[in-house]
Structure 1
Amino acid sequence: MRFAPAGAALLAAVTLAGCAASADPDRRFAGLITPYRMEVVQGNVVTQEMAAQLRPGLSREQVRSLLGSPLLADIFHADRWDYVFTIRRQGAAAQRRHVTVLFQGDKVASFEAPQLPSEREFVDAIDVSKVDGKAVPLALSDDQLRALPLPKPAAAIAAPAAGASAPARAYPPLEPLPAR
């Protein structure tokens, strides 16, 4: 019975420490375990290349085919489309962008876009596969190519035996064999 208050105090301390650790998404629990954070992507990605094609006079359908359906199309502001994009990805900085397209009738009158990234900059910003800020190379260097063993000449490859009709299989045929 004497240990009940001490046990309750210890349980409360551990519980509060867990709550404090989960408040910061980049913090590790007990210095070892990083909790899983679900990737959240909402809205339409709008890049510099896409915004460069947007100009006054385009119809609503042209804007929809260029930027996609707007995330916000308010019935009280029928001449305004809002493209909001947010992404939270573990290991990458959170991003939020807001592009507004204003219409007059059925044509684009103006648009407001903050500094948008190019497609390459956007991909680099959300890519968490880089190690120490350097991308993993996808091709061999010239020195690595020279270090590879040379292929065997065609004459060195053994020809099938004279009486064999087909190579021996270690797997079943894909089609049934004809009856003899």
Structure 2
Amino acid sequence: MQPVISIRNIIKTFKEGGKALPVLDGITFEIGEEFVAILGPSGCGKTTLLRIIAGLEKADSGEIVFTHKDAQIGFVFQSPTLLPWMTVLENVALPLRVRGMSLREAEEKARKYLSLVGLQSFENFYPRELSGGMKQRVNIARALAIEPLILLMDEPFSQLDPLTAESLRSEVLDMWQ
């Protein structure tokens, strides 16, 4: 199996109060077309590693190599990152519009993924009108709407009730398979 992502000797250190705090030290592994979980205690660098893979943060050294140079990467953060002045539908359609999709197509695809996460009736609501779990489901729909080759999820279900979390876990696994 050819890797989709090769993570090679990633090193990341944070500076705090003049002291160096090593977070990632020589992290190396490959990921193929598979479902991978990165486990570890709080504060061990899992989120930092995901942010480096996504290109949101720089490693001190090492490299991330993608087999598909133009691979779409979706990222679901621990906490919702919705734009408060946009409706639910507009938030989900935004990355599609940024990629040049027509408004009609973007909204159609956004509706598909809002339905998948059970929020089809809330497309005209604003983030301030949603519960925390609903906001996170909008984030998940937005990440899935671009139909990424690589989907990075940083504890995306931690703010959801157990029933919704299990349902979305199953949906994500079904889509992957």
Fold-level similarity (TM above 0.5):
no
- Larger radius of gyration, structure 1 or 2? 1
Which structure has the higher relative contact order (CA within 8 Å, separation 6+)?
A: 2
Going by fraction, where is helix more abundant, 1 or 2?
A: 2
Q: TM-score, normalised by structure 1?
A: 0.18
